Structure 1
Amino acid sequence: MGKIKVLFWFDVEDFINPESEEALLGLMDLFDQRGIVGIFKLVGEKIRVLERNGREDILVKLRRHEIGYHTDWHSIPPVVTVYLEPLGFREGAEEFTRREEGGIGDLARITGQPVRCYGQPGQAWAPQTFPALNRWGVSAYLDGHDQVTMEGRPFWYGGLLNLDSLTGLMSLPLKDGALPEAMQEFDRLCELQKDEAVGFISIFYHPTEFVFAEFWDAVNFSNGRNPSPEDWVKPPFRPEGHMRMYLDRVGEFIDYTLSKPNVSYASTDEIVRMERSVSRVLSGDEVKSFALRTGNELIYLTEGPMCLSASELFWVFRQYALGLEPVPEIVYGPERDYPGDPAREVRVRDVFESLREPMPEVCGFKQLPDYFQVADVKMDPVTMTCTLAAIIREGLTEEDRIFPLNGTLAATKHAMNEGDWAEYWPIFPEGLQVPNIVAMSRLQTWTIKPALF
């Protein structure tokens, strides 16, 4: 059996109830006593409350663990998905930056640590978050969400290593009799991944749930409600002594996992460093090899330790065609799915000229245009990439002509095509639908590719 890496993470979000801070302290003690690293994703307002309340005991302990970001205000409307649904990809990334850069800045300032990962509040996922997170140096997306997935394995999407909705996603329910079942589930997930070089088990909690019988936000912000702070209420407490009892059970569970010879705990930073994809300048032969394998169904391609997403394929083909260094680079998908003009023969020279035009940018990163203007023909990015591959493999020159090769973005198979999310999370407004979020999530599969371990 290969190695099993456990990612044990906590969404530290309840900034209303100071009682939840004792559970946070207790959880960090469990990890510190065992010498393992936990991943604590904090809400901006929560870290500010800890600072205002003088909880230096908690802040000191946090420095021994990995810090992640969990948005600035979590469930206070409008939540991320809601405020980004009406916006385009570039505009949405800018809006996410405007709303969230203060929170992630406070988190880094107060903890004195780099912010390594991000996870959405509840189910409030959106593709426009990725360019902003990438610009802030966040390298991993850690959560549970199935809008974009890759068969339960880690994958690259939007420039981040995605560790969400893994095969090994689990939790130990805080109820009687749950410990033996959780141990069995852990063993089952290990066995399920026995043939992987590295398997992953992702375990999560919220400190607040050790103290309260209901979630802090469900009793205040369900269905998009937004009461004023003086009307916020506390959830019902768990019975006296239950917090300590459940903390001890989590400790027993951790001890059980550590008894396995191939199991160790890891931060997302360690997992990113373990990932072995190679990014370097490609040789001419390597570019031609990728071009030979690029047909009319555009998706990531793997060759040895190198895996290129659809947008990276476009980029290395472009660079090679223009006589520039073909090194893979993050290029985000376009704003919209533009069909392009009916295909008709074009000059290779005009194809190259269209590639020399400045590309759009999002948060300082390149973005595919909706279409390339090739003389009097509008060519969509998929057709352009497939046509470039044909130019390279056929050895055409600027003096030649070519009939554009229409294709499809087959990578969209990794994104769901549904828009009704109202039932996903009780905090969402009733009847919420997000067709724009869904459409953009599919367009950004230009950036998807498997992680290699």
Structure 2
Amino acid sequence: MRGKARVFLTFDVEDPVTPLSDDAVLWLAAMLRERGVPAAFFLTGDKARALVRRKRLDVFEALRTHDIGYHTNHHSTHPTVAEYLEPHDWAGGVAEVVARERSGADLIRELTGRRLCGFATPGTSWGPQIPGALTGLDIPAHLHSFSRTGGGHNPHWYAGTLCFARSEAVGPVEDILPDPLRFAALLEELPGLLERAARSEDGVLHLYVGHPTIFVNREFWDGINYAAGRNPDPEAPIRAPEPRPVAQTRTMLDNLAHLVDVVRACPSAEFVGFGEVVADRRRAPVLHAGWFGRALAEAAAGPGIATTSRVLSPAQLLYAMCREVLGHDVERDGPVPEVHGPVDRPDGTVATGAPARVGRDRLLELAADVCRAGDATGALPVLARATGGVAVPVASLYRSLLDLTADGAAGVRALRSPPESVPLVEAPELPEVGDEISEHFARRVRRWLHRPDLDVDELTRLTRAQTWTLRATAAA
């Protein structure tokens, strides 16, 4: 066993409709505080404004011992995140996220007096520009991301932000708490989940409890008011969800308290705050002597484009290899800057411009083109270009440069002194997990929350492209 599983709890606090849902936040925060267990509560801007209107500043006070996160400004109000990102390219989408979300994030910071610990995806409304924009919002992490490395790493880096995969969370636990049989099954399964987390490379387990509103309501406030792209009639009262019987609310709260106590008593687990996990995993990996050579050897050992390095994403590795070809000392330069995957659309010259081999001079030009794009835009080009009409897909250049390398320092020397002629190999356009992530997103985003005619083709393309930015995290 590597150590104890580090278990963190999260809630999405989003219901601006039901006053009793305000009390549910108080009950949950108090129950956990009494047990010395931290949790992360992700609030929407609409919920924060509703609490102010209802003079429920006691809710903000109750959350002061817990982490505070952000769950979008308007959640299910149309246009939702995916809907407002629909018409945008990468840069336009990043700017749109910052413009639409800044006021909500600033309001919650002002009302709580706290730095936000992360941004939680609202339902299935997501786009890769969300993690791409979080630096501009001063938010350090992204929860419920559709990204994952393919190597079982949670958390991981994607689009320049520390991300936690929604597919790796246990829950929502709220679905299980009212059902005696399902709750008993969860308690039976829990020791195994904790043991596996303790033995895993990452050592974390995300218990996604769910939504305080579901502790007092049978249905979601937004499902009955915002489905299929429709906003409520502003002249009519907004519909309130069907309330849950008081006895069932009590059962859910008691069962959650029991679940927390079981985890607390487990010798292979400990509760930690989400903010603590984020701070730990955002620390830069220690770069011991020879780190670049080891990164090259790790990437070259497998086929395709590897995403499980704890030091460099594939995009960073290609940028670093190109700098080495151009005569820079990457190891001496230190940490490689974040580099995004190709954000521009292919222009149709992939098949006609790529030769079977390039000479050393052309290789230097290709490397210079990659570095020029990375420095100017922060992203890889779709094609690396050289004189004479040479246009090489970046995935082909990535594998071709890796094929020049050998283990350790020999690989670095091969990049610094390439042969007179270098073969260009065909390679998959993306990491293997790219199609899995984009297909999962495209399937789930077409659910009740969005307009039936929502076009996610561009969001899906950008989602695939940013799998070039995937890498695992290193615990401090």
With structure 2 as the length reference, what TM-score do the two structures score?
A: 0.84
Conservation of the 8 A alpha-carbon contact between 1:155 and 1:163: yes
Q: Would the alpha carbon gap of residues 194 and 141 (structure 1) be closer, same or farther in structure 2, given more than 3 Å must change? A: same
Instruction: Please state whether the residue corresponding to 1:130 is helix, strand or coil.
Output: helix
2:391 alignment partner in structure 1: 378
Deviation at 1:415, TM superposition (A): 4.2
Paired AA for residue 314 in structure 1: L
Matched, 1:404 2:424: yes
Matched, 1:436 2:458: yes
Q: 2 CA distance for matches of 1:206 and 1:301?
A: 32
Moved >6 Å (runs of 4+): none
2:408 alignment partner in structure 1: none
2:275 alignment partner in structure 1: 269
Conservation of the 8 A alpha-carbon contact between 2:285 and 2:474: no
Deviation at 1:127, TM superposition (A): 0.8
Q: Would the alpha carbon gap of residues 46 and 132 (structure 1) be closer, same or farther in structure 2, given more than 3 Å must change? A: same
Deviation at 1:289, TM superposition (A): 4.4
Matched, 1:142 2:143: yes
Q: Would the alpha carbon gap of residues 33 and 194 (structure 1) be closer, same or farther in structure 2, given more than 3 Å must change? A: closer
Match of 2:355 among 337, 343, 351: 343
Q: 2 CA distance for matches of 1:168 and 1:422?
A: 16
Conservation of the 8 A alpha-carbon contact between 1:37 and 1:65: yes
Deviation at 1:123, TM superposition (A): 0.9
Q: 2 CA distance for matches of 1:195 and 1:24?
A: 33
Conservation of the 8 A alpha-carbon contact between 1:174 and 1:210: no
1:234 alignment partner in structure 2: 240
Matched, 1:44 2:53: no
Mean Cα deviation higher: 195-204 or 78-87: 195-204
1:224 alignment partner in structure 2: 229
Deviation at 1:51, TM superposition (A): 2.9
Deviation at 1:33, TM superposition (A): 0.7
Paired AA for residue 85 in structure 1: E
2:339 alignment partner in structure 1: 331
Q: 2 CA distance for matches of 1:293 and 1:240?
A: 56
Paired AA for residue 16 in structure 1: V
Q: Would the alpha carbon gap of residues 365 and 103 (structure 1) be closer, same or farther in structure 2, given more than 3 Å must change? A: farther
Paired AA for residue 427 in structure 2: G
Superposition map of 1:272-311 within 5 A: 272-275=278-281, 278-279=284-285, 285-292=290-297, 294-295=299-300, 297-300=304-307, 302=309, 306-311=310-315
Paired AA for residue 104 in structure 1: A
Q: Would the alpha carbon gap of residues 402 and 146 (structure 1) be closer, same or farther in structure 2, given more than 3 Å must change? A: closer
Q: 1 CA distance for matches of 2:466 and 2:82?
A: 16
Deviation at 1:279, TM superposition (A): 3.6
Deviations 1:216-242 (A, max 9, x none): 001101111112344311111112444
Paired AA for residue 124 in structure 2: Q
Mean Cα deviation higher: 404-413 or 123-132: 404-413
Q: Would the alpha carbon gap of residues 424 and 180 (structure 1) be closer, same or farther in structure 2, given more than 3 Å must change? A: farther
Conservation of the 8 A alpha-carbon contact between 1:117 and 1:142: yes
Superposition map of 1:156-175 within 5 A: 156-170=157-171, 171-172=173-174, 173-175=176-178
Mean Cα deviation higher: 80-89 or 66-75: 80-89
Match of 1:413 among 433, 458, 473: 433
Matched, 1:321 2:325: yes
Mean Cα deviation higher: 440-449 or 412-421: 412-421
Q: Would the alpha carbon gap of residues 107 and 355 (structure 1) be closer, same or farther in structure 2, given more than 3 Å must change? A: farther
Deviation at 1:179, TM superposition (A): 3.6
Q: Would the alpha carbon gap of residues 450 and 195 (structure 1) be closer, same or farther in structure 2, given more than 3 Å must change? A: same
2:28 alignment partner in structure 1: 27
Instruction: Please state whether the residue corresponding to 1:141 is helix, strand or coil.
Output: strand
Q: 2 CA distance for matches of 1:11 and 1:200?
A: 17
Paired AA for residue 343 in structure 1: P
Which ranges of structure 1 fall in alignment gaps of 5 or more residues? none
Deviations 1:410-447 (A, max 9, x none): 52425425375367642222364523222221111111
Q: Would the alpha carbon gap of residues 34 and 368 (structure 1) be closer, same or farther in structure 2, given more than 3 Å must change? A: same
Matched, 1:246 2:252: yes
Match of 1:187 among 182, 188, 191: 191
Paired AA for residue 11 in structure 2: F
Conservation of the 8 A alpha-carbon contact between 1:42 and 1:69: yes
Deviation at 1:314, TM superposition (A): 1.4
Match of 1:211 among 211, 216, 223: 216
With structure 1 as the length reference, what TM-score do the two structures score?
A: 0.87
Deviation at 1:182, TM superposition (A): 2.9
Q: 1 CA distance for matches of 2:139 and 2:397?
A: 31
Deviation at 1:154, TM superposition (A): 2.8
Conservation of the 8 A alpha-carbon contact between 2:225 and 2:232: yes
Q: 2 CA distance for matches of 1:350 and 1:152?
A: 38
Give the percent of matched residue pairs that are identical in Structure 1 and Structure 2: 26
Deviations 1:160-218 (A, max 9, x none): 23222354512142424154233123224224445325241422221111111110001
More helix by percentage: 2
Which ranges of structure 2 fall in alignment gaps of 5 or more residues? 406-410
Deviation at 1:404, TM superposition (A): 3.3
Conservation of the 8 A alpha-carbon contact between 2:132 and 2:161: no
Deviations 1:1-25 (A, max 9, x none): 4312222111011112222101011
Deviations 1:307-361 (A, max 9, x none): 3210121132233333252522211101146336222544434443454457457
Q: 2 CA distance for matches of 1:53 and 1:74?
A: 19
Matched positions, count = 448
Instruction: Please state whether the residue corresponding to 2:165 is helix, strand or coil.
Output: coil
2:95 alignment partner in structure 1: 94
Mean Cα deviation higher: 102-111 or 209-218: 102-111
